[in-house]
Amino acid sequence: MTANVLSVRDMVVSFDEFLALDHVSIDVAAGESFGIVGESGSGKSTLLRAVAGLNAFSAGTLTINGQSYSGRNRSKDFYRTVQMVFQDPYGSLHPRQTVDRLLLEPLAIHGFDNVDARIMRALDEVGLGSGFRFRYSHQLSGGQRQRVAIARALILEPKVLLLDEPTSALDASIQAEILNLLEQARRDRNLTFVMVSHDLGVISHMCERLAVMKSGKVVETVTADALESHDFAADYTRQLLIASEGFRRA
């Protein structure tokens, strides 16, 4: 087993009385693609946001690349290592900034040189030509926006990419394109993925291992192969699997 690049131990997140994450632990090895599935309210997005420092967590530890983090304080170095792609491409891009400006911002914050070449390369990598560079996000389709969001995450050359339902707002055919793009990027850059989705099909396609979450707890962690051969213990996993197979007349 290679060293874990991301390790969460007994993480607790609560919003007032509500316990959103109840002692959750996951380990993700370097270069691995790790999936998290569950229904809404299961805490899967909260877990990702707590890792990214968008939510504070009140107990437990978070270790990334050997470094511990707590609460929601994150160093600049952290964001060089970890970047996030959000669900809704309509909400995650600044409406009054051009694509160029959107991609320039992280580079400026982190003091990168050669920004021009980097922006061109980032756009090329996600399959958008230079023609998109000076457009606003409202001039792009949903799939193109998500490509910009991925370019913005990859432009800092992170090691870990947190993906929060990256394709659930997109059409099935566009989803396939974005999933292919993400896999390509992962291969090329040897990235580690933590991907959240409610779609078991997407997760089993993209990830080697996955955690099934329900009401703030990890029900179980299985490999994608075990899922395929129905080799799992929890009843809830079975329910999800049945649900993903579509409607059956009783």
Closer CB to another protein, residue 109 or residue 242?
A: 242
Q: Does 200 bind another protein (CB under 8 A)?
A: yes
Question: What Rg, from alpha-carbon coordinates, does the chain have?
Answer: 18
Among 52, 128, 202, 212, binds another protein (CB under 8 A): 202
Q: Does 176 bind another protein (CB under 8 A)?
A: yes
Read off the DSSP letter of residue 250: -
Half-sphere exposure of 86 (CA within 13 A, CB side): 12
Using alpha carbons, list the distances in angstroms from residue 250 to 73, 230, 238, 246.
51, 22, 17, 12
28-47 mask for another protein (x: CB under 8 A)? -----------xx-------
Give the residue carrying structure tokens 């694509």: 99
Among 1, 114, 131, 247, binds another protein (CB under 8 A): 247
Q: Which stretch in 43-51, 56-64, 67-75, 173-181 sits in contact with another protein by CB under 8 A? A: 173-181
Strand partners, 19: 14
Q: What minimum distance in Å lies between the beta carbon of 33 and another protein? A: 12
Among 204, 210, 219, 232, binds another protein (CB under 8 A): 204
Q: What minimum distance in Å lies between the beta carbon of 197 and another protein? A: 10
Strand partners, 213: 218
Q: Does 48 bind another protein (CB under 8 A)?
A: no
Is 43 in a helix, a strand, or coil?
A: coil
H or E segment and range at residue 19: strand 18-29
Q: Which stretch in 12-20, 68-76, 115-123, 201-209 sits in contact with another protein by CB under 8 A? A: 201-209
**Cα(first)–Cα(last) distance of the chain, in Å?**
45
d(CA 236, CA 47): 19
> Can you give the binding site for another protein, defined by CB under 8 A?
39-40, 142, 171-173, 175-177, 179-180, 183-184, 198-202, 204-206, 227-228, 239-244, 246-250
